Structure 1
Amino acid sequence: MTATENDRDILARTLWGEARGESLPGQIAVAWTVRNRVFDGKTKSWWGEGYASVCLKPWQFSCWNKNDRNYPYLSGAKPIPAAQYAQALKAADQVMAGTAPDPTGGATHYYATTMPKPPTWAKDAKQTLRLGQHVFFRVFGKSC
């Protein structure tokens, strides 16, 4: 699969929306959950085809929900601070190129520890990493 400049931009915007307060390694971990969905080994994946499709899949990355406070920035209505976007692009580039190893152990899901309680899908998932404000999982069975 060949990634496009749009894939790169959408992945970076997703990282900003989901993990802008994280270090570069934290953003790389979040980017790997997207990559693990992109390359899930299925010809027609439930997640979507390509980085942009996976990131924009409804209800998967809450920053893209139109009622989310991040959406005006991700949609371009408001500018993302340049330095923060640059870090997100760096993480996106390293993960898309495969130059940063996967610290998540194949995770396809995560949640922020700032949530009031863990999501219900986490009960049957295998935790693979806790990094910064995120907990990462491999989920077995049905997709969330």
Structure 2
Amino acid sequence: MISSKAVDILARTLYGEARGEYIRRDGGISALMGIANVVMNRVGHQSWFGKTIEEVCLKPYQFSCWNENDPNRPVLLQVQSRKDKVFDTCLDVAKSVSDGSWPDITHGSDHYYAVWLPRAPKWAVGKMPRFKVGQHVFFKLHPAEGAPY
């Protein structure tokens, strides 16, 4: 069973990374699901990414919304459930993806980047995306096939 703290951290990660796409509807709920799938796939790898939702989400420089200098960080730390409908949706997605109720729409992806970046990250150059939704492109770079969660 996934702890309520883990679901909360995952929801805050979704809120920080993809709430704009949900609000603009250019990615909708699928944008939130995609980020949650990447987190769960990384947890499934049980590797340097981390072994728990908390470790994966809070690992330095993996999800930019948690970086100290990111303008999203104070926003995601202060948002409260039942006071922000988008955050409530992020909580629902976090719970449903982390407990396995919803499928992995990213086909095992463990990395993504926002297409509005000036250029693709080095790790993405020459790699084939597995999924695209809204402003995010998803990739599977970890060698393990599948991610049980």
What TM-score range do you get, normalising by the shorter chain? Answer: 0.7 to 0.9
- Give yes or no for contact 1:125–1:140 (8 Å, CA) kept in 2: no
Q: Distance in 2 between matches of 1:3 and 1:65?
A: 24
Q: Distance in 2 between matches of 1:125 and 1:105?
A: 15
CA RMSD of aligned residues (A): 1.5
Deviations 1:62-94 (A, max 9, x none): 000010000112233xx3661110111111011
Deviations 1:83-113 (A, max 9, x none): 1101111110110111111111100000011
Q: Secondary structure at the match of 1:135?
A: strand
Identity level (%)? 44
- Correspondent of 1:33 among 21, 32, 38: 38
Corresponding residue for residue 121 of structure 1: 123
- Give yes or no for contact 1:3–1:50 (8 Å, CA) kept in 2: no
**AA of the residue aligned to 1:9:** D
Q: In the comparison of the two structures, how many residue pairs are matched?
A: 135
Alignment of 1:5-84 (within 5 A): 5-22=4-21, 23-40=28-45, 42=46, 45-76=47-78, 79=79, 82-84=84-86
TM-score by length of 1: 0.87
Q: Distance in 2 between matches of 1:140 and 1:14?
A: 21
Higher relative contact order by CA 8 Å / sep ≥ 6: 1 or 2?
A: 2
- Give yes or no for contact 1:111–1:118 (8 Å, CA) kept in 2: yes
The alpha carbon displacement at 1:125 in A equals: 3.2
* 1:134 aligned onto 2:133: no
The alpha carbon displacement at 1:5 in A equals: 1.0
Deviations 1:110-135 (A, max 9, x none): 00111111111001433101111100
- Give yes or no for contact 1:124–1:139 (8 Å, CA) kept in 2: no
**AA of the residue aligned to 1:35:** M
User: Higher strand share goes to which structure?
Assistant: 1
The alpha carbon displacement at 1:140 in A equals: 4.4
Q: Distance in 2 between matches of 1:66 and 1:52?
A: 16
Moved over 3 A (4+): none
Structure 2 unaligned segments of length 5 or more: list them: 22-27, 144-149
- Give yes or no for contact 1:124–1:140 (8 Å, CA) kept in 2: no
TM-score by length of 2: 0.84
Q: Distance in 2 between matches of 1:49 and 1:113?
A: 28
